[in-house]
Structure formats: structure tokens, C-alpha cells
Amino acid sequence: MDYFVNVTITGLTQGIIYSAFALALVLIWRSTRIVNFAQGSMAAATTFIALALIQAGQSYWVALVVALVSGFVLGALVERVIIRPVEGGPELNAVIVTLGLFVAIQALIAIIFGSSFQSFPTPFGVRGFQVGGSTIPLTPTSLYVIGSVLITMALLVALFRFTRVGLAMRASAFSQEVARLLGVKVGGMLTLGWGLAAVVGSLSGLLIAGGGFVYPAYMDSLIVFGFVAAIIGGLDSPVGAIVGGLILGLALSYVNGYVERGSALVSVAALVILIVVLLVRPGGLFSSTTARRA
């Protein structure tokens, strides 16, 4: 029973990071109908910026802020310079462009920061709390992870619900033409959306790196998990992305914890879950839209 609880807690902690990453994908999908496959590399880039600052003697928090800000700048820049020309074009073109960005940024990281494994610090301890004489895998770090994702989500909800900018962003995502007619600067809103999504993506990159090792391709599995989580949720629904991330985190944690040598099977399990969801409910579990045609 204890083991089950431990595996569950680990799954939820991992899952909430997948949620954050899936949320970043959903934010971009809602505004521009593009799945940003470069999200992982962009997050890895900001994580390496943070790592460079920490190694230069700055505190974790300074590095965190700089990483998030540079994430925003990177996201906005990518949208303006690279994505804008393919927006609204054939969907395959946009997919290929984000894939190109994915490889290019990852290789650039390896060129600038080297491709060796480097440990990434965490601001809090990684020893589990003691409950009734036994150690549970709930650590101060996992509390920090869960807390920061929840705060980020609350801020996003507040932005979209209670501010004029959020309203304008929702309007441009809903219908670009109508929003433009009503005086919304749709282009600016799309750039802002990409920037915000990149901030959320960077945060998940920093959180998954905390207490572990980073290398240029360390986000490769997270981009898959984030995508699977977003698909479970329907790719269109922020709430779905969060729930999808938690479901996926739990499922993968059980595979890892209960199948012998299951760690090798985690990616395979994600693939199976993805295929099953797509075959049974292609629109995801939380889809609000009906099936699209042509």
C-alpha cells in the first residue's frame, strides 16, 4: 500500500510538469492552430541559460527569472520571424518549420553549451518528508514544483478571465477576422500568446531539470509526453491539458513502478496511450469541437 502511495505521488509530481508543458502547447494551438514541436528545444535553451548563470555564481531565483524572460523573448521572436510567414498556410508547412526549429535549436545548444550531462541544482531539498516513520517521495522540491505550476496556471486564468489583454487574446484565438474588425491588434496578440506559451514551457523545462541532469536532448521525451497529455485533453482545452498531464504522469509512473524494468517501457507506454486515445476519441477526452471535415 505504501508503495502504491509512493508511486502515485511520484506520478502526480511528474504529471503536473507534463501538464504545464501540455498547457504551453495548447496555448499556441488555440491561437495559431500550430503544434509547436520546437517547444522542448526552446525550453532546453532557456534552461541552459539559467544553468550558465548559476554556474557563474548567480542565485537560482535570478537565473529562474532571467530564463523565463528569455523564454518570453525567444517565443515572441520565433513567432514574429519564423512562424508568421507560414501562419494560415498549409498545416504541413508549419509542422515542418517547427520541426526544423526543434533540430536547429537543439544543435545550437550543443554547440554553445556542449553536449555533456550537467547537473542542474534545485533550490529546495530532495529528501522526502517523514510520515509516521517512513519516508514518502513528497519532497520540498516536489512541493515547489506543484506550487509553481499551480501559481502559473492561476496567473494565466486571471490573465485570460479578468484583463482586457486576455479578452483580446481570446478574441483573436476565437476569430481573427472579427477580432481585427473590432480593433484588436491580432498580430500582437499572437506574438504575446507565443511568448506566454514559451514562458510556461521554459518553466516546465526548469522544473523537470531541477535536481537532475541536463543535456541538449533532455526535453525530447518531455515533448512527446506533453504532446500526449495535450492530445488526451483534446489539444484545445487548457483544463484538458492539465488533467491529461496528470493522467499521463500517473500511468507512466505505474508502468515504471510495477512493470519489471519498466523504465525502458515508459516511452512505449506513452505511445500506446496516445494511439488508444486517438483511435477511441480522436478529439481527446475533453474536446468541445465536433469532428472537422476537409
Task: Specify the residue, 66 or 272, whose C-beta has the smaller distance to other proteins.
Answer: 272
73 lies in the site for other proteins, by CB under 8 A: no
- Report if residue 35 touches other proteins, rule: CB under 8 A: yes
Does the protein bind other proteins through residue 173 (CB under 8 A)? no
**Minimum distance from residue 73 beta carbon to other proteins (Å):** 19
Q: How far is residue 63's CA from residue 101's CA, in Å, rounded to a whole number? A: 24
Footprint on residues 196-255 left by other proteins (CB under 8 A): 216, 220-221, 223-224, 227-228, 231, 235
Q: Interface with other proteins includes 261 (CB under 8 A)?
A: yes
Write out the three cell numbers for 209: 531539470
List CB contacts of 35: < 8 A, sequence separation 6 or more: 25, 28, 29, 95, 98, 227, 235
**Dihedral sign (CA 83, 160, 203, 229):** negative
Closest alpha carbon to 51 in 113, 115, 137: 113
If one asks whether residue 96 binds other proteins (CB under 8 A), the answer comes out as yes
Torsion angles phi and psi, residue 118, rounded to 5: -130, 140
- Which region among 2-10, 63-71, 111-119, 178-186 touches other proteins (by CB under 8 A)? 111-119
Residue 31 C-alpha from the chain's centroid = 16
- One of 16, 44, 101, 168 touching other proteins (CB under 8 A): 101
User: What is the C-alpha to C-alpha distance for residues 136 and 59, in angstroms, rounded to an integer?
Assistant: 28
Residue 157 is a binding residue for other proteins (CB under 8 A) = no
Residue closer to other proteins, measured from CB, 195 or 284: 284
Measure the N-to-C terminal CA separation of the chain; round to a whole number of Å. 50
Under rule CB under 8 A, residue 114 binds other proteins: yes
Residue corresponding to grid cell 474536446: 287
Residues at the interface with other proteins (CB under 8 A): 29, 34-35, 37, 82, 85-86, 88-97, 99-108, 110-111, 114-115, 216, 220-221, 223-224, 227-228, 231, 235, 261, 264-268, 270-271, 274-275, 278-279, 282, 293-294
